[in-house]
């Protein structure tokens, strides 16, 4: 059976990217590799919309978050984190480990922090050294207005703006330089159409200056080390050579499509996915939906285990479960990275087949028809 992955990381990897990575391994000090790494560094700037360095770390996205917190802050530094789901919660866990002074703002799952609330927090904590945000909160499929939030932070304080862009980069419009973001992180297995294993971290000039002055509390996951090597288009340790080569291929695809077109494609796939779910009588979970992943309430009477089994075993489709309190209540359909319009027909068609298998009443073809209409008009 054909396997079809609709999870928000890992995401599908195009054949040309896999083939590039299947070539015989080369040495990382070999000029051929140095040339590839230099090009990857340059193309990552295109992706993040920045002239600042974007370092390549050999770890998953969380490693990029850990390197950020440990490289920018010291014990006692006050950092505001926004917890609107699993990944915002992770920012708080990291801050508590490395500074012990976390102001965590909890936001209801399915919602994003409102600028007015963040303004209040900044007033209450004028000594905050940083604010940690999540652009697309993957656990709740919810997008935050990073442009507005960043403008507000820059206006009201000197706090650094740290953005977990792990499922937003390559899905949502994002301008690192123009918006005034200080750190943005993504991971290879999300919008970049790559297997897991790399974290990419963009670092502003302001953040670079602070990092230079900090005492290192970590050796391997250190942005200080990574930035120093980056200046010579190098990495401090043996990089994940094959993944960097795959990333070179993926970035060529991204440049060929054009970043603005990629943002538009994700918006349109997300819209069609939501319309397909609505047409099947399924309620959407988020009130500020991400373009990377669509979270959907399981309909009354539909058990996650039976639904997931029907999707996977009979149709080869993997979607993501809900997390924590929403474990058996919602599921999440990803359209992040290497997806097109026909993929949305496939996943909504697969969901129809699974619902039919478990005897959930609905009008056959209603979801697929809504997806067709979303793309083709009425």
Least CB distance from residue 62 to ligand PLP, whole Å? 3
Q: Which residue is nearest to ligand PLP (CB)?
A: 61
Task: Select from 30-38, 46-54, 160-168, 315-323 the region that touches ligand PLP (CB under 6 A).
Answer: 160-168
101 touches 76 (CB < 8 A): yes
The helix or strand, by DSSP H or E, that contains position 30, with its residue range, turns out to be: none
74 touches 215 (CB < 8 A): yes
227 touches 201 (CB < 8 A): no
Least CB distance from residue 104 to ligand PLP, whole Å? 16
Tell me the angle at which helices 304-315 and 341-357 cross, rounded to the nearest 10 degrees: 120
Tell whether residue 83 is a contact of ligand PLP (CB under 6 A).
no
230 touches 55 (CB < 8 A): yes
* Binding-residue pattern over the window 94 to 133 for ligand PLP, x denoting contact by CB under 6 A: ----------------------------------------
Least CB distance from residue 267 to ligand PLP, whole Å? 18
CB count in 10 Å sphere of residue 35: 12
Nearer to ligand PLP, 50 or 140 (CB): 140
Nearer to ligand PLP, 189 or 308 (CB): 189
Tell whether residue 138 is a contact of ligand PLP (CB under 6 A).
yes
The two tokens of residue 52 are: 């600042």
107 touches 138 (CB < 8 A): no
Nearer to ligand PLP, 157 or 167 (CB): 167
The helix or strand, by DSSP H or E, that contains position 364, with its residue range, turns out to be: none
Least CB distance from residue 194 to ligand PLP, whole Å? 11
Task: Select from 26-34, 121-129, 161-169, 318-326 the region that touches ligand PLP (CB under 6 A).
Answer: 161-169
Tell whether residue 187 is a contact of ligand PLP (CB under 6 A).
yes
Query: What burial letters (b/e) apply to 343-355, b meaning 16+ CB within 10 Å?
Result: bbbbbbbbbbebb
Least CB distance from residue 167 to ligand PLP, whole Å? 4
Handedness of CA 148, 170, 105, 288 (dihedral sign): positive
Residue ranges binding ligand PLP (CB under 6 A): 8-9, 60-62, 87, 134, 138, 164, 166-167, 187, 196
């Amino acid at each position: 059976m054909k396997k079809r992955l609709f999870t928000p990381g890992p995401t599908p990897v195009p054949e040309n990217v896999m083939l590039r990575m299947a070539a015989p391994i080369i040495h990382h000090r070999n000029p051929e590799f140095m040339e590839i790494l230099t090009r990857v560094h340059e193309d990552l700037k295109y992706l993040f919309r920045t002239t600042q360095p974007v370092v390549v770390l050999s770890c998953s996205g969380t490693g990029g978050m850990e390197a950020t917190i440990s490289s920018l802050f010291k014990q006692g530094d006050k950092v505001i984190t926004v917890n609107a789901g699993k990944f915002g919660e992770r920012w708080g866990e990291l801050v508590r480990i490395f500074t012990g002074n976390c102001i965590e703002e909890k936001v209801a799952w399915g919602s994003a922090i409102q600028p007015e609330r963040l303004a209040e927090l900044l007033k209450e904590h004028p000594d905050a050294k940083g604010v940690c945000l999540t652009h697309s909160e993957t656990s709740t499929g919810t997008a935050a207005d990073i442009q507005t939030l960043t403008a507000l932070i820059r206006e009201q304080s000197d706090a650094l703006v740290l953005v977990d862009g792990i499922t937003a980069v390559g899905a949502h419009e994002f301008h690192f330089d123009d918006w005034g973001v200080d750190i943005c992180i993504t991971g290879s297995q999300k919008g970049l159409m790559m297997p897991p294993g790399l974290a990419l971290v963009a670092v502003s000039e302001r953040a670079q200056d602070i990092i230079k002055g900090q005492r290192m509390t970590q050796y391997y996951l250190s942005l200080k080390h990574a930035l120093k090597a980056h200046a010579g288009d190098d990495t401090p340790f043996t990089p994940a050579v094959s993944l960097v080569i795959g990333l070179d291929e993926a970035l060529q695809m991204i440049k060929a499509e054009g970043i603005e077109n990629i943002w538009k494609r994700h918006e349109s796939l997300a819209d069609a996915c939501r319309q397909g779910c609505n047409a099947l009588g399924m309620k959407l979970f988020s009130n500020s939906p991400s373009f990377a992943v669509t979270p959907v309430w399981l309909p009354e009477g539909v058990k996650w285990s039976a639904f997931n089994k029907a999707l996977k075993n009979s149709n080869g489709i993997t979607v993501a479960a809900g997390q924590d309190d929403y474990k058996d209540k919602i599921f999440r359909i990803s359209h992040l990275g290497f997806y097109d319009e026909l993929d949305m027909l496939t996943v909504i068609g697969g969901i129809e087949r699974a619902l039919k298998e478990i005897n959930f009443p609905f009008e056959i073809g209603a979801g697929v028809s809504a997806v067709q209409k979303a793309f083709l008009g009425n």
